[in-house]
Amino acid sequence: MAISTKHDTWPALPFADWSGTCATLHLWTQVVGKVRLALTPWLNHSWHVPLYVTARGLTTSPIPYAGLTFEIVLDFVSHELEISTSNGSRRRMALEPRTVADFYAAVMSMLDELGISVRIDEHPGEIPGAIPFSQDRMHADYDAEYAQRFWRVLVLADRVLKHFRTGFTGKCSPVHFFWGSFDLAVTRFSGRTAPRHPGGVPGLADAVVQEAYSHEVSSAGFWPGGGGADSAMFYSYAYPEPPGYRAFKVAPPAAFFSEQLGEYLLPYDAVRTAADPDSTLLEFLQSTYEAAAECGRWDRAALETALGRPGVPRAIV
């Protein structure tokens, strides 16, 4: 029997206790993510912009620049930001309480020192009324304990979302962290195009939203809270929303449809305190996907397969 340790136990993440740190981290990740956005060719559905969960934090993954590559990592174990290049150069700075303006200036200075010339849009995306990075001296919180707890939740959620992803042979996104909406997500596609999205997302061009939702999707992930929500949630939604979707019976019992947000939600604490958190989350992911697939008349036989197992090739019938 596996022994539970600090690293495989889902930690408590009460939003009220780290809301300031969460807001600051959201903006810091936008600075880092926008560097990748500025230098990376466009990929369908904005898949060129997210960050990725690592064994120590979040990374941009390698970014091409002038014959080299570089990577920016937010390390929540040693609590530092590191920029490293393929020619062996690197710069580091501590993750500690500092304003967004100071963080932005420090990141830009480190890039300049490494010979990487990049300018980013200073206006945060998907945050109504946000302050430009270089002017934001309001957000400066960094609680190392809660930053690390947040990362641990991402590590555990990433594991389950990746396992869930193996049960689909159709087009599916990577599991990735979107710094605009500050959530970890995975998206399945029916293979059919969708009606043009109306847009209207604060701080995000309509053309970006419309390209992201150019095809029918069932998307699910983890969101730590904020924007009026006082707790962390797992979520799942369909675009376009098919008839009957909201009335579909989903699991586990703690899951519900939010009329305000137009998506299914499962409180993080319902997963964290479950006897088997992984299975509870998988149940939510599968049942809400089935709501989209059944109500939307997806070709499930052509798109689905059994969940993957290590070292066992998928059987072809």
Q: DSSP label at 46?
A: G
Report how far residue 196's alpha carbon sits from residue 11's, in angstroms, rounded to the nearest whole number: 40
2 pLDDT higher than 50? no
**R_g over Cα of the chain:** 20
| Mean pLDDT to the nearest integer, 229-246 | 96
Residues contacting residue 161 through CB under 8 Å, at least 6 positions apart: 175, 184, 185, 186, 220, 221, 222, 285
CA distances from 192 to 188, 239, 242, 271 (A): 11, 11, 13, 32
| Of residues 231, 237, 230, 267, the one with CA closest to residue 252 | 267
Q: pLDDT band for position 229 (50/70/90)? A: confident
Q: What is the pLDDT of residue 5?
A: 47
Q: What is the pLDDT of residue 7?
A: 60
Q: What is the pLDDT of residue 104?
A: 98
String of b and e for 141-177 (b: at least 16 CB within 10 Å)? Answer: bbbeebbebbbbbbbbbbebbebbbebbeeebbebbb
Using the structure block, give the residue that is written with the tokens 């599916």: 172
247 pLDDT higher than 80? yes
Q: What is the pLDDT of residue 77?
A: 98
List the chain domain ranges: 15-135, 146-303
| Mean pLDDT to the nearest integer, 259-283 | 97
Q: What is the pLDDT of residue 91?
A: 98
Q: What is the pLDDT of residue 227?
A: 72
pLDDT, tens digit (0-9, with 9 covering 90-100), for 44-65: 999 999 999 999 999 999 999 9
pLDDT, tens digit (0-9, with 9 covering 90-100), for 116-160: 999 999 999 999 989 999 999 999 999 999 999 999 999 999 999
Dmax over Cα atoms in the chain, in whole Å?
A: 60
Q: What is the pLDDT of residue 228?
A: 66
